[in-house]
Amino acid sequence: MRILISNDDGIHAPGLVALENIARALSDDVWVVAPETDQSGFAHSLTLHDPLRARKIDERRFAVRGTPTDCVIMGVRHILPGRPDLVLSGVNAGTNMADDVTYSGTVACAIEATLLGIPAVALSQAYEDFVGRIPFETAEALGPDILRKLTGQGIAHGTFINVNFPNCPPSEVAGVEVTRQGNFAYDHGIDVEKRIDARHKPYYWLTFRRGEMLCAGGTDAFAISRNKISVSPLRLDLTDNATMEKLQALF
């Protein structure tokens, strides 16, 4: 099995090392094509107005000056000697669940692979935001078995899998739960902070704080809050079928 791995935290991210170890537990044909720099929050964006530059690190490791989506396209269309059988993304530093999946470059790698018709899994590791160490050993220890089951079962066309690991040692993980995507209660937690530069001109930072999530039973956030691994099948089709029926009656 040929595996392409990427991420949004960049080529030097410790989570990418963890993902390489996970992938090598499944295959010895593992290729890395990851962003040259941190691309967190770039979501499913493409670089259209600047050239892409790829730097060869070794025989099967490449850094691309571009977005996570660019990396998957470069890997599949140009760098790898043949089409990969599986694309893995991560292991992200922090969860990608609830509404956050729409911002995630980690999830975007899986989305792009799915658009290209390649089975894909995004992996993320929970930790206490902005403090403490990230327990990548949890994803590294438990990820291979989850991936063996997912690839053995097969991933449906148009679907990718979003996996989140809880913030605890592997021995304290309370199991695996298949979940649906959760959502924030009311506020997604991004604000704008105004500052003044040395020339007295205003500039702005987007500031981040964790919004309150609705941890309803069966959601990704609920599973993580109970030290379970969340496995969420997500689809590219964003159609709201219930509202579609109402609009058909209206028009």
DSSP, residue by residue, 34-79: EESS--TT-TT----SS---EEEEETTEEEESS-HHHHHHHIIIII
pLDDT of residue 190: 79
Task: Tell me whether residue 161 is in a domain.
Answer: yes
Task: Tell me whether residue 168 is in a domain.
Answer: yes
Is 220 annotated as contributing to ligand binding? no
Residue closest to 71 by CA, chosen among 4, 24, 138: 4
Task: Tell me whether residue 196 is in a domain.
Answer: no
CATH number of the domain bearing residue 179: 3.40.1210.10
- Centre a 10 Å sphere on the Cβ of residue 46 and count the other Cβ atoms it contains: 14
Is 164 annotated as contributing to ligand binding? no
Task: Tell me whether residue 76 is in a domain.
Answer: yes
What 3-state class would DSSP assign to 170?
helix
* pLDDT tens per residue across span 138-177: 999 999 999 999 999 999 999 999 999 999 999 999 999 9
User: Is 208 a residue whose pLDDT tops 80?
Assistant: no
How many domains, in total, are found in the chain?
A: 1
* pLDDT tens per residue across span 37-87: 999 989 999 999 999 999 999 999 999 999 999 999 999 999 999 999 999
Token code pair at residue 84: 């990969």
Span 91-100, average pLDDT: 94
Task: Tell me whether residue 54 is in a domain.
Answer: yes
Token code pair at residue 168: 């605890």
Is 92 annotated as contributing to ligand binding? yes
Task: Tell me whether residue 207 is in a domain.
Answer: no
| H or E element in which residue 191 lies | strand 190-196
pLDDT of residue 81: 96
Is 21 annotated as contributing to ligand binding? no
Residue closest to 10 by CA, chosen among 26, 27, 32: 32
pLDDT of residue 130: 62
Task: Tell me whether residue 201 is in a domain.
Answer: no
Contact yes or no for 246/195 (Cβ under 8 A): no
Range of the domain at 50: 3-183+213-249
Span 120-136, average pLDDT: 89
Task: Tell me whether residue 127 is in a domain.
Answer: yes
pTM for this one? 0.92
